[in-house]
Structure 1
Amino acid sequence: MLNNKISPQTLLSTLWVFILLNMFLRDLHEFPTEGYIQELMSLKISQQTMLFYAFLGEIPILMVLLSRILNNTANKWANTLAVIVASLGVLYTLPSGDLDEVFFAIVDAAAFVIILVTAWRLPNHQPAQV
């Protein structure tokens, strides 16, 4: 049923796209909530906070590319570091989260586990290019 011919690098890259889309959906689905836009408009957000969230948002985007081009050893470590940092970002939003935030966090966590397992199953040697 599953396509076993997908390379691990392609799977990793695709999982990071999945996480990125999940982040977008998590943010977008709040807009129809009553009072959400007014609450957003009244917030005073510092430049440091904006930079922090920009950094977190760039991690999946960067990993879409790096998962495809890094050698296996670098891929293992880059994916591990990215999962740790992205997981901390997800956990940071949970204390104020409602049930749907928890749902999105669980989906992210499942994807993070699959990324770690896939990355650490990469062989230690790089296959020869033909």
Structure 2
Amino acid sequence: MNRKTLLSTLWVFVTINYLYCDLIGLMDSSLLKQYLKGSVEGMEINENFLLAAGILMEIPISMILLSRILKDKPNAVANLVAAFIKTSVMALTLFLGKPTIYYLFFATIEISTTVFILVYVIGWLKEINALKLSVS
């Protein structure tokens, strides 16, 4: 499997995990009651919060496509930035409130996947830079 296909596939995998974790959260009656009241664990769920959440979810969704169409170096850089952002955000969410057992399960998978993307892309960038030096 080529790098672009692998990265795109990893973004599909992690995006489905993000979405399914959110879906399961809506099945949690204690959380659902908070969502319906507009505040979850003390966080107000308003238009600004939902816009920020939408932007954060657009990152992995966009990476599914961008991983396939960008040229190598911009592709690697975009994957690096996206994986860093998503890993950081997921790690930070573990310290907001008391995470449920199912959230910890999904967060472990999501963080592991984005850390793998980070490590994989760092190796790819080293190869790209080495090729550039050998051509020069």
Note whether the superposition's TM-score is higher than 0.5.
Answer: yes
TM-score (norm 1): 0.82
> Where does residue 48 of structure 1 map in the other structure?
48
Whether 1:23 and 2:25 are equivalent positions in the alignment is no
Whether 1:100 and 2:107 are equivalent positions in the alignment is no
Deviates more, 1:6-15 or 1:89-98: 89-98
Unaligned stretches of 5+ residues in structure 2: 39-43
1:74-97 residue CA offsets vs partner (Å, 9 max, x unmatched): 112111100111122212321221
> Where does residue 114 of structure 1 map in the other structure?
116
Whether 1:7 and 2:2 are equivalent positions in the alignment is yes
TM-score (norm 2): 0.79
Identity percentage over the alignment? 32
How far apart, in 2, do the equivalents of 1:25 and 1:71 lie?
A: 31
1:63-113 residue CA offsets vs partner (Å, 9 max, x unmatched): 001111111111121111001111222123212212221221111121112
> Where does residue 3 of structure 1 map in the other structure?
none
CA RMSD between the two structures: 1.8
Contact 1:75–1:119 (8 Å) recurs in 2: no
Q: Structure with the greater relative contact order (CA < 8 A, sep ≥ 6): 1 or 2?
A: 1
The structure with more helix, counted as a fraction of residues: 2
Displacement of 1:19: 0.8
Contact 2:25–2:31 (8 Å) recurs in 1: yes
How far apart, in 2, do the equivalents of 1:91 and 1:110 lie?
A: 11
How far apart, in 1, do the equivalents of 2:4 and 2:35 lie?
A: 38
1:20-68 residue CA offsets vs partner (Å, 9 max, x unmatched): 1000111111233233322111014232211110110000111001111
Unaligned stretches of 5+ residues in structure 1: 1-5
How far apart, in 1, do the equivalents of 2:61 and 2:30 lie?
A: 30
Which residues of 2 match residues 84-99 of structure 1 at below 5 A? Answer: 84-95=84-95, 96=97, 97-99=99-101
Look up the equivalent residue of 2:101 and give its one-letter code: L
